[in-house]
Amino acid sequence: MGPRSGLEERSFRLWLRIRRNWQLYVLLFLPVLWLIVFRYAPMYGAQIAFRDYLPAFGIEGSPWVGLANFERFFNSYYFKPVIVNTLIISFYSLLAGFPIPIILALSVNQVKMRLFRNSVQMITYAPHFISTVVIVGMLFQFLHPRVGFTASLANLLGMTPPNSMGDPAAFAHIFVWSGVWQEMGFGAIIYLAVLSTIDPALHEAAVVDGASRLQRIRYIDIPGLMPTAMVLLVLSTGRVLEVAFEKVYLMQSPLNLGVAEVINTYVYRVGLLSPILDFSYSTAIGLLKGIVGLLLLIAVNYWARRLTNNGLW
C-alpha cells in the first residue's frame, strides 16, 4: 500500500479516535435522543407560525400563510399592552432584583461572627424553597383586605384595610418586591462564593495602607464581583421578555389583567385556553418572543464585552 494522502490520514485518525470512544457515544445516545425529541422537534414544529395549522393536515400539510400570524399580532388590540406590561415588569424586576443580592452578599461577607452569618444566610435562603403557588397564596392571605396581616395591622391602627391585590396600580410593585423577598438570599450565594475566592493578600495590603472597610468593599470586593455580575446581567437582560409564567399567571385576576397580561401568559391564553384554540397564532407570538430574546442576548453580550471585557462568550 502506498502512503496515504494527508487528508485521508487525518480522517483515518479521526475515525480511530471516534471508534476508540464508541462506548461514550453509547452513553450519549439516550440524552441526545431526548434532546432531539423534546427540544429540537418543537423547534421544527415552530414552523406552524408561518402556516395556518389545521390538525387534520398536520404540520407539513397545513397551508403556508407567510407572515400573516405575525401581522395579526402587530395589529391586535393586545399587542401594545402585552409588550408594555412585559417590559415594565421585567425591567422593574431587573432594577430591584439585580443589585440587592450583590448588596446582601457584600454585607454578609463583612460579618465575622459565624453564628450570626450562618443564621442570616439560612433565613434569607429559605423563601427560595417555597413554591410559587404557596408564595402567591401567601401574598393573597398576607394582603387580604379582611383576614390578612395588612388588614389586622390597619384594624389595630384604626385605619381602613387596603385591598392591595385588587389594585392594578399595586400589581407590579407586589410582583417585583415579593420576588426580591423570595430570591435575594439565594441570589447572593453566587456572589458570596466569588467573594470567598478573592485573594486575601489584597485585603491585607489595603489594611496596611489604612483602607477602611467601606473602601475595601469599593476597591476590592466590588471589582472582584464585576465579571460574575456582568454575566448574570447579560443573562437576565436576554430574558426580559420571559416574565416568569408561573407567578404572573397565578397573580392575574379580571381586575388587574390590563397590567398583568404578559407575552408568556398571552401565548398560553390564545394557544391553550381560548374556546377557539389558535396554535399557529400562539406559536407565532412565542417564536417572535424567542427570536427577539436571542437577538437581545447577543446584542447585550456584545456590548458587555466591549465595555467591560466580560460576557457570556
Partner 1 sequence: MASMTSYESNINKVNESAVDRVFMLGNTAFLLVITLIILLPLVFIVAASFSSAEAVIAGKVTLWPVDFSLLGYETIFEHKKVWNGFANSIFYTFFGTIFNVTMTIIAAYPLSRQDLIGRRVITFAFIFTMLFSGGLIPTYMVVRDLGLLNTRWAMILPTGIGPFNLLIAITFFRTTIPPELNEAARIDGASDFRIFLSIILPLARPIIAVLALFYAVNTHWNTYFQALIYLKDQNLFPLQIVLREILIQNSIDASMLIDIEDLVAREGLRELLKYSLIVVASVPVMILYPFVQRHFVKGMTLGSVK
Give the one residue of 79, 87, 181, 257 binding partner 1; rule: CB under 8 A.
181
- Candidates 8, 11, 44, 54; binder of partner 1 (CB under 8 A) is 44
3 versus 138: smaller Cβ distance to partner 1? 138
Instruction: Kindly state whether residue 39 participates in binding partner 1, applying the rule CB under 8 A.
Output: yes
For partner 1, give the closer residue by CB, 2 or 74: 74
Q: Give the bridge partners for 64, in sequence order.
A: 51
Q: Does 46 bind partner 1 (CB under 8 A)?
A: yes
Which span sits near partner 1 by CB under 8 A: 2-10, 89-97, 140-148, 167-175?
140-148
The string of DSSP letters for 166-214 reads: G-GGGHHHHHHHHHHHHHHHHHHHHHHHHHTTS-HHHHHHHHHTT--HH
Q: Is 205 in the site for partner 1 (CB under 8 A)?
A: no
Instruction: Based on the shown chain and the rule CB under 8 A, indicate whether residue 45 belongs to the binding site for partner 1.
Output: yes
Interface pick for partner 1 out of 224, 259, 283, 304 (rule CB under 8 A):
283
- CB atoms under 10 Å from CB of 264, counted, come to 21
State yes or no: residue 144 binds partner 1 (CB under 8 A): yes
Q: Residues touching partner 1: how many (CB under 8 A)?
A: 104
Q: Of the candidates 256, 263, 261, which has an alpha carbon nearest to the alpha carbon of residue 281?
A: 263
Q: Minimum distance from CB of 90 to partner 1 (Å)? A: 16
Q: How far apart are CA 110 and CA 198, in angstroms?
A: 13
* Dihedral pair phi/psi, residue 107, rounded to 5°: -70, -50
Site string for partner 1, 235-254 (x = CB under 8 A): ---x------xx---x----
Eight-class DSSP state of 253: -
| Closest to 305 measured CA to CA, from 222, 236, 233 | 233
Site for partner 1 in 54-113 (CB under 8 A): 59, 104, 107-108, 110-112
Question: By CB under 8 A, is residue 9 in contact with partner 1?
Answer: no
Give the binding range for partner 1 (CB under 8 A) out of 3-11, 63-71, 77-85, 264-272.
264-272
C-alpha–C-alpha distance, residues 267 and 86, integer Å: 12
Q: Would you say 85 or 283 has its CB closer to partner 1?
A: 283
Give the nearer residue to partner 1 in terms of CB position, either 1 or 146. 146
| Dist. CA 234–CA 237, nearest whole Å | 5
Contacts of 92 (CB under 8 A, 6+ apart): 172, 176
Verify binding: residue 126, partner 1, rule CB under 8 A.
yes
| Per-residue mark of binding to partner 1, 151-170 (x: CB under 8 A) | xxx-xx----x---------
Among 54, 134, 222, 299, binds partner 1 (CB under 8 A): 134
Element (H, E) at 12: helix 6-20
Percent helix, percent strand, percent coil in the chain, to nearest 5: 75, 0, 20
**Of the candidates 212, 219, 222, 274, which one interacts with partner 1 according to CB under 8 A?**
212
Q: Which three cell numbers stand for residue 290?
A: 424567542
251, containing H or E segment: helix 245-251
